[in-house]
A and B are shown apart, each in its own frame.
Chain A
Amino acid sequence: MKTTLLMFTVLLFSVKSFAVTKVENTIKRLNWNGIDVVYIEDNRFPTYDLLVYFADGALSDVKGQLGATKHAFNLLDAGTAKLSQKDILDQFEFLGTEFGVDVTHEYSTLSMSGLSKDLATSMTQTCDLLREANFPAPIIKQELDKERSELQSLVASPQALADRVFREVSLGNTPYSYPVTGKLHDLDLYTPEVLRAKVSYFLDKVKKRIYLTGPKSILSVEKILAEKCKFKGGPSDFVRSIAYKKQKRSKTEIVFIPVPDANQVQVQIGRFLNFDEIGDRRLDTLATEFLGGGFTSRLMREVRVKRGLTYSIGSYISSQKQYGRSGISTFTKNETINKLIEVINDAVEKIKKEGISQEDLERSRGAIVGAHPFKFESNRAFLAQLLYLDHIERPYAELFDFNQAVMKYTTTDVSKKIEDVFGTNSQIIFVLGDKSIEKELKKLSPKLGKMKVLDYKSFI
């Protein structure tokens, strides 16, 4: 055991040392026309990665336009007065440029990557889209019809359907529960005028930040951002922040979603996390690593290795700036649904009663510390880490001091975190599967909590 601990200590210090000298020093902060820019020089390949951050997201969608932000960004390539959708897509694809958008409740991002010699061309096109996208009605109709079709097919993808429904159910009556994509009945609301107004709002009112990596030559994109995108920053730029009433769940509830002809049951167990429950993200990482973070996690051992009840199981605590959510996610065959839930519950209860051992703590700590450098390997992933820390208003030191911070946690910290977040008396136990399992599932009610049955269609 001593040898093992010594090995961990050496590893921790060597990783920290590397991090400070090799990675942290490569980050440069610039300011372009009032916009903060984070740049990392990388000369290994003639390529670039670029992210544009907007400090608002789907929370900006008012009733009657829910989902509009996501669609405004998604449909940017629908057309401009000068270019058709085909022309726009063709231009990006000709250059091998990857163009993408992502919208969360709190913030939105636009991403681009490709060959650095083509950044100027691709950025100019992106600026044209941001400034001149006019969302031609026929294209919008066609894209939304396609989306309707995809949503109606969701029932055939139990895992994706479970993710979508569980998210809304577990976030309950919070400002974050409605899907950023909107629902089927919202699709009629996205007119060209609504979408254009959304993009203009993000361009002209919302705080932006740029994240960029590649050879130095790509810094010439500054001129295009100023002249073509007309990006300009100032102290009055809007940053989304909301006040909401804290949620307190005092008992566990079983939610069953019947779907036709499923020979496998999807299970998710979790809940909403209030703003004051998400402060220590490094402890969250350590606790979820121990509980369901890999093949040697507690849940994987109990559920898969010992009993063969599933192919995979994992746990997470994810958070944005003002809220978070927790979850245990897995699946099993119809016949073993109750057994699976009982095994998970027992595992969590055992942690509550007996805590975790020092050896367990060292294993989990070693896992997240050793894996830490992988967060820097892909340029895009590294940029995303920095973007996230900026968004939640935490210093980059949290990334580079990660290893020392993780060392301070004790076995009690970890078991308490698991009890607080995954405690069996305050969860939504979400089950999506064939109607035939309902009767069996009900047998868990007396022990675990009331069960309600919901129609999946009201969530799409």
Chain B
Amino acid sequence: MLQKKIGTRIISLAVLAATLSGCSHLPQSNKKPAPVHLNVKKVVLDNGLTVLIAPNSKLPIVSYYTLFDVGGRYEGPGTTGATHFLEHLMFKGAKKYGPGQFDNLIERNGGMTNAYTTNDATVYYQNIPSSFVETMIDLEVDRVQNLLLEPIGFESERQVIFEERKMRYENSPDGFIYLMMMKKVFEGTPYGQSVIGDVEDLKSLSRDQVMNFFKTYYAPDNAILAIAGDVDPDKLIPIIKEKYGAIPRSKGLMELKAKSDDPKNYEFKANFNTEYSYYATNPIPKFMMAFKGEKAGTRRAFILDVLAYELGNGGSSYLAQKYVRNQTPLLSDISLSSYNLRHSGVFYLSGELMDNVTIENAKKQIKLDIKNFCSQALDARTLQKTKNQIMSQAYQQMKTNAGMASTIMMNEKVYGDYSYGTKEMEIYNSVTESEVKKECLAIFVNSDSIFISTWDKYPKNLSASLSLETK
């Protein structure tokens, strides 16, 4: 079904009792924001399911998140798109609640349900009235235990996915260039396979293949359940134990994943001194310049996050001022991102040209400038600005039940600690100017990059199958 989140940054900024020093020239208060206490109850069931409950009785509503630790990276050649296809099919009916009943029950009670798939995970989520929580548990347990995968629903959903693919990638220049960047940067690694799936693979995926994928990866010891909202953990946990507790552990999954997760599989294999041009429907050229990034959770990953923010976040940032907001702008838009995946990462600059600028000129200018980014752009004040922005965003994220459930769930998955947000903020706040400069030089001065551009003036045969390219 539904929404697919491909390429979302995995930074799960979270709760904080962090310092906020004021080195601004502005007359703002020097008071620190009050610390926020995380009220979360965690239990791990005998079958390995991790359960997190964050009570909040402000409103009679609940956000219910389920993460399965399986993403596009576990798909082998010929089966790209299987994880996402399965995500759609999870809404097509199970034994107790047959076709149409899952959505129907949730929606008729005022809830909404959706899901997304990334390279690393599949997440199902519902926003529901608190009176519906027990039924929600029953619905989720039923589909994890007894998924039907009926042939008729299977085929019609395949057509839906083709339309989704067109919407997100083939008819979206931003989606298309992102897809090609990921394919090129992670070529030869599990992250080089598109999460939405290649057309030929999608055409040939069989019900048995998808069912096999389901049976292999949808196990309680490969999942995290996070519930935030108007619930009483002491009353809910026994019900969860009773319902989910009957689902058996996986067999051999951890060994299979360990083999697939061998760090050697994720070592970069692409040539980072290449350029690719693709036909796409954008009348004004777009580009991406991608460097080797860092996997989530390391100190370097935090530093690269800070670097991306410092250089490229907001209209006052160095890159926006240099290329977009000046008298003779080269670009109409620019951004810098650090995408930290579970086992690897990519650090990339993306932009769209002004209509009187050629891609050759833009590329030449940026490549000329790039070696000066680190000496011109980074200082103590921009570092502090970045830390303030990260903190403000973290608070915003935690204001809703969905934000809370998602954050504690992702922290539990990536760090094995739902409350890692506090630690995370400490790490962000401990990043020094010299650390950021060092990584800046390592990326922009001492590393090669893959340069990708798209334009509707490029020959059409450069992209028809999403697999042709010119070097």
Contact = CB atoms under 8 A, between A and B. Distances in A.
B447 interface: no
A216 to B, nearest CB: 14
A234 to B, nearest CB: 32
B449 to A, nearest CB: 24
A366 B110 contact: yes
Interface in B303-356: 313-317, 321, 324-327, 329, 332-333, 352, 354-355
Interface in A53-108: 77, 85-86, 89-91, 93-98
A46 B172 contact: no
Given A264-B171, A332-B163, A378-B399, A156 B60 contact: no
B130 to A, nearest CB: 9
A32 interface: no
A8 B110 CA distance: 10
Nearest to B59: A373
Contacts, number: 223
Query: Which of B171, B355, B389, B391 counts the most chain A CB atoms within 10 A?
Result: B171
Interface residues of B, number: 84
Contacts of A46: 33-34, 395
Given A45-B399, A264-B171, A295 B107 contact: yes
Interface stretch (A173-181, A302-310, A341-349, A441-449): A302-310
B61 A152 contact: no
B47 interface: no
A148 interface: yes
B398 A45 contact: yes
A310 B354 contact: no
A142 B355 CA distance: 13
A86 B94 CA distance: 56
A115 B392 contact: yes
B28 A118 contact: yes
B392 A304 contact: no
A98 B314 CA distance: 10
A395 interface: no
B162 interface: yes
Given A86-B316, A96-B388, A45 B36 contact: yes
Contacts of A149: 284, 332, 352, 354-355
B456 interface: yes
Nearest to A259: B281
Interface string A377-411: 11100000000000000000000000000000000
A96 B172 contact: no
A423 interface: no
Given A14-B60, A156-B280, A374-B61, A367 B24 contact: no
A291 interface: no
A401 to B, nearest CB: 17
B166 A90 contact: no
A145 B155 CA distance: 47
Contacts of A305: 100, 156
A148 B354 CA distance: 9
Contacts of B104: 296, 363
Given A11-B129, A89-B315, A311-B164, A295 B329 contact: no
B395 A115 contact: yes
B329 A146 contact: yes
A215 B321 CA distance: 35
B61 A377 contact: yes
Interface in B147-177: 155-164, 166-167, 170-173
Interface residues of A, number: 81
A158 interface: yes
Interface in B8-48: 20, 24, 26-29, 31, 33-34, 36
B123 interface: no
B316 A370 contact: no
A90 B385 contact: yes
B211 interface: no
Contact of A95 (B28, B157, B327, B460): B28
A260 interface: yes
A344 to B, nearest CB: 15
Nearest to B284: A153
A251 interface: no
B212 to A, nearest CB: 23
A93 B91 CA distance: 42
Contact of B28 (A117, A264, A331, A367): A117
B111 interface: yes
A382 to B, nearest CB: 10
A363 B104 CA distance: 8
A372 B164 CA distance: 29
Given A118-B29, A295-B103, A370 B128 contact: yes
Given A95-B24, A142-B327, A146-B332, A371 B392 contact: no
Nearest to A362: B108
Given A90-B385, A159-B167, A308-B156, A294 B33 contact: no
Interface string A253-280: 0000000111110000000000000000
B282 interface: yes
A366 B171 contact: no
A316 interface: no
A78 to B, nearest CB: 10
A201 interface: no
Nearest to A368: B110
B393 interface: yes
Contacts of A263: 166, 170-171
A95 B388 contact: yes
A31 B118 CA distance: 49
A10 to B, nearest CB: 8
Contacts of A77: 315
B167 A370 contact: no
B321 A86 contact: yes
A367 B104 CA distance: 9
A97 B314 CA distance: 11
A46 B391 CA distance: 11
A14 B109 CA distance: 13
A152 B283 contact: yes
Interface in B266-319: 280-284, 313-317
B170 to A, nearest CB: 6
| Chain A to chain B: the 3 pairs with minimum beta-carbon distance, closest first | A370-B110, A96-B392, A308-B159
Given A18-B60, A118-B28, A377-B401, 19 more contacts: A11-B131, A85-B325, A86-B325, A90-B316, A94-B388, A95-B28, A113-B396, A115-B392, A138-B327, A142-B327, A155-B283, A296-B103, A296-B104, A308-B160, A311-B164, A331-B163, A332-B163, A367-B107, A374-B59
Interface of B: 1, 20, 24, 26-29, 31, 33-34, 36, 58-61, 91, 100, 103-104, 107-113, 127-129, 131-132, 155-164, 166-167, 170-173, 280-284, 313-317, 321, 324-327, 329, 332-333, 352, 354-355, 381, 384-385, 388-389, 391-393, 395-396, 398-401, 456, 460
